Amino acid sequence: MADDDSTDAGGAIESRLTEQEYLRPPTEFVGQANATDSAIYDRFDEEWPDAFEEFAELLDWEERWDRVLDDSNPPFFEWFPGGTLNASYNAVDRHLPERKDQTAILWEGEHGKTERIAYQDLYRRVNEMAAVFREVGVLEDDIVTMHLPMVPALPVSMLAAARIGAPHSEVFGGFSAQAFADRIDDAGSDVAVTIDGYYRRGEFLNHKEKADKALEIADSPPDTVLLFTRGDDLHEDVSIGSDDPYVLVDDVLEDKRGAEVDPVSRDAEDTLFLMYTSGTTGQPKGAQHRTGGYLAHVTATSKYVLDIEPSDTYWCSADIGWITGHSYIVYGPLSLGTTTVMYEGAPDFPHKGRTWEIAEKYDVDIFHTSPTAVRMFMKWGEDIPRQYDFDFRHLTTVGEPIQPEAWLWYYEHIGGGDAVVVDTWWQTETGGHLITNLPALKDMKPGSAGYPVPGIEPAILDDEGNEIEPASGQAGNLVITKPWPGMLQTVYGNDDRYINEYWRAFSDTSSDDPKDWVYKAGDGAVHERDGYWRIVGRLDGVMNVAGHRLGTMELESAVSEVSGVAEAAVAGREDEERGTVPDIYVTLRDGADPSQEIRDRIVTSIVEEIGKFARPANVWFVDELPKTRSGKIMRRLLEDISNDEQLGNTRTLRDPSVPDNIRQMVHE
Ligand code: WTA
């Protein structure tokens, strides 16, 4: 931890930075790191794609693959075809001989409840839950939709589904009933999983309510909803009706004590899970992830980027309901046989030192969080972490660009100047890290995501698809020019959408040559002169609100459903703490007048359609939205207004006075 002269040290670091902008990784870190041979970069260049075998060899396979990559049918790339394995076996069973008594999951619940789940216990729970799934009729390849918060039942259910070859589709607990129902329908799930409730800031939240409602509104509701309980029994506020499809997990478990279910042998290309995510339309898409390539990618990056050792206590503060939690709380860390921490509660309850209290209590070695969280900790001040005795070796961020100021604060006040700090860029669709430093091999550069992971080939293109000269320092569209093992297989049930959203923009879609296929990330980035990559942010209608991915179109369609609303447009406003927050601009129908009541209905509709986390920062009623002559809403101008920046090009506007009028209202 930082000692009392930390302010001076901070000053010294800043002056060092202005000299050279880089910081060497701490010697102590380098001495023990998992990736210490810089030849790895050249090897992956020269032996691409075969070098990815090094990733796959970190796993236990039943049958070894025939080939590393089959790229004969782009963009439907196949990784490690011919290989067979089971993800639950890799995350659990294979560790038993060496570490059955070692803690796999350290669960810190709210309300003082904690659980220490050893690998042997995890094995038992996963097997029993797999038996429960079988009992209610889940077959291989059936998709099980889950709506679970941060409780052990979540990783247990994911691994149990993986064990019997049933892809899971976990819906972040903060999502609404509507979002849950939409995902059940899209995946065609006959079996869903939920829980009676959970705790947030001391209060019991009835979570089953959302499932009740989802059952009403889904087009084809599941036949069975497996219901976990947060406590020993069903919470007193929660009940089950006599003809409800709910089945208490505990009741089925009664007969399944000690059950063992053989892990099903899965082809490398068999689907492991779906993760629905926001895109450029109102309808979330199910990013479909394969078993072999995905597991290889997240295991290797957990080892080489997060530098996880089995003996470590590792804590990623994300929610398992998002991709970060899937890859870097569950699959990566557990495949390496480490101890992974799961925290149910909020970082400021019951006090603002909660995070550091947990880090001290469990002696956490590696801490992974979001820039939003770092900015929040920074705002609360360094006196809070200073009260706790923790000692991190490795710190990471993910989800948004991290400003150098926040980076430095994290490095100094949380890392104490002797932990390595690593920024990781990737996406739901990429499965695992794509741009991030192997921390012992590259100097740290605050504000930059670093170098590509070995074997990853990014490029920057202009809007016409021409490559911008490498390392020229110019911003453009970030693309990935070669496939990678963790990439999504497709958009579930919609290959066209997969091609349209990710490939069409910069690929020759009529070609069979994989070189003509280029993955569009949707982010803007700069390849700097020193070879480091800096991510600027999304170029499409996707926002990152406090680490939650949201589509502007989803918000707009929720707003448009409110009676009285004529049109709505969403603009992302930069927020010091939350990264980006949505501002909503609305025009009303004739006869409807701006009122608090309509504003409330708009917010309610968003909460019902998406979830509370999507609540807008502002709802502005305007006479007219800025539109081009052809009638297209120019959200970019609204974004300029929200952020109080100079207006971009207004020449193509039908009525050029519109943005100024709106600006007056917003910034009066
Ligand atoms: C953003 C989260 C800057 C980016 C893993 C990306 C980042 C989107 C970074 C994906 C980073 C993620 N620096 N921006 N290190 N990491 N992003 O799907 O805009 O929830 O496209 O996956 O988050 O968000 P998603």
Residue 280 has a pLDDT of 81
Ligand 1 pocket residue status of 535, Cβ below 6 Å: yes
* CATH architecture entry for 540-666: 2-Layer Sandwich (3.30)
Choice among 149-153, 465-469, 654-658 with the minimum mean pLDDT: 654-658
Q: Helix/strand/coil (H, E, C) string of 353-404? A: CHHHHHHHHHCCCEEEECHHHHHHHHHHCCHHHHCCCCCCCEEEEECCCCCH
Closest of 156, 191, 196 to residue 173, by C-alpha: 196
Ligand 1 contact, 448 CB (< 6 A): no
Residue 6 above 60 pLDDT?
no
Q: Which of 276, 535, 552 to mutate to test the pocket of ligand 1 (most atoms within 8 A of CB)?
A: 535
Per-residue pLDDT at 3: 40
| CB atoms closer than 10 angstroms to residue 363 | 11
pLDDT of residue 651: 86
Span 127-264: which CATH code? Answer: 3.40.50.980
**What integer is the mean pLDDT of 20-44?**
94
Q: How far apart are CA 258 and CA 242, in angstroms?
A: 29
What number does the ligand 1 atom closest to the CA of 424 have? 15
Domain ranges, ordered by start, for the chain = 127-264, 540-666
Q: What is the pLDDT of residues 626-642, one digit of tens each?
A: 999 988 899 999 999 99
| Separation CA 229–CA 561 (nearest Å) | 35
Kindly state the percentage of the chain with pLDDT values over 70. 97
Provide the pLDDT for residue 618.
95
pLDDT score recorded for residue 20 = 55
Please give the Cα distance from 479 to 465 (Å, whole number): 10
What's the CA-to-centroid distance between 522 and ligand 1, angstroms? 10
Does the pLDDT at position 11 exceed 50? Answer: yes
Cα–Cα distance measured from residue 329 to residue 569, given in angstroms and rounded to the nearest whole number: 35
Categorize the per-residue pLDDT at 13 as very low, low, confident or very high, splitting at 50, 70 and 90: low
Tens of pLDDT, residue by residue over 528-539, are: 999 999 999 899
pLDDT at 281: 81
Q: Rounded to the nearest 10 degrees, how much is the dihedral formed by the CA atoms of 629, 632, 636, 640? A: 60
Burial call 539-567: b when 16+ CB within 10 Å, e when fewer: bbbbbbbbbbbbbbbbbbbbbeebebbeb
**Over residues 45-69, mean pLDDT:** 98
Mean of all residue pLDDT scores within the chain: 94
Does the Cβ of 526 fall within 6 Å of ligand 1? no
Cα Rg of the chain, angstroms: 25
Q: Distance (Å, rounded) from C-alpha 408 to C-alpha 543?
A: 25
157 with 131: CB under 8 angstroms?
A: no
Q: Which residue has the tokens 């003996």?
A: 311
Its ipTM equals 0.99
Report which protein residue has its CA nearest ligand 1's atom 5: 427
* Beta partners for residue 274, in sequence order: 169, 288
The structure's pTM equals 0.94
- Residue 14: predicted pLDDT: 56
Report how far ligand 1's centroid is from the alpha carbon of 400 (Å). Answer: 5
Q: How confident is the model at residue 649 (pLDDT cuts 50, 70, 90)?
A: confident
Task: Give tens-digit pLDDT for 537-562.
Answer: 899 889 988 778 999 999 999 999 99
Write out the two tokens for 501: 């959203």
Of all protein residues, the one whose alpha carbon is nearest to atom 24 of ligand 1 is 427
- Give CA–CA dist 266/89, Å, rounded: 11
Report the DSSP pairing between strands 266-267 and 271-277: unpaired
- Atom 23 in ligand 1: which residue has the minimum CA distance? 399
pLDDT at 4 > cutoff 50: no
Which residues fall within 8 angstroms of residue 656, CB to CB, at 6 or more apart? 650
Closest CA to ligand 1's atom 25: 427
CA-CA distance, 468 to 448, in Å (whole number)? 19
- Tell me, what's the pLDDT at 544? 86
Ligand 1: nearest atom to the Cα of 449: 15
Q: Check: CB of residue 85 under 8 Å from CB of residue 64.
A: no
Find out whether the beta carbon of 449 lies less than 6 Å from any atom of ligand 1.
yes
Mean pLDDT, rounded, for 358-365: 98
CB of 319 closer than 6 angstroms to any ligand 1 atom: no
Average pLDDT, stretch 294-309?
Answer: 98
Q: In this predicted structure, what is the pLDDT of residue 19?
A: 46
> Looking at residue 478, what is its pLDDT?
98
Task: Assign 116 to helix, strand or coil.
Answer: strand
Is pLDDT of 1 > 50?
no
According to DSSP, the residues that pair with 266 across neighbouring strands are 85
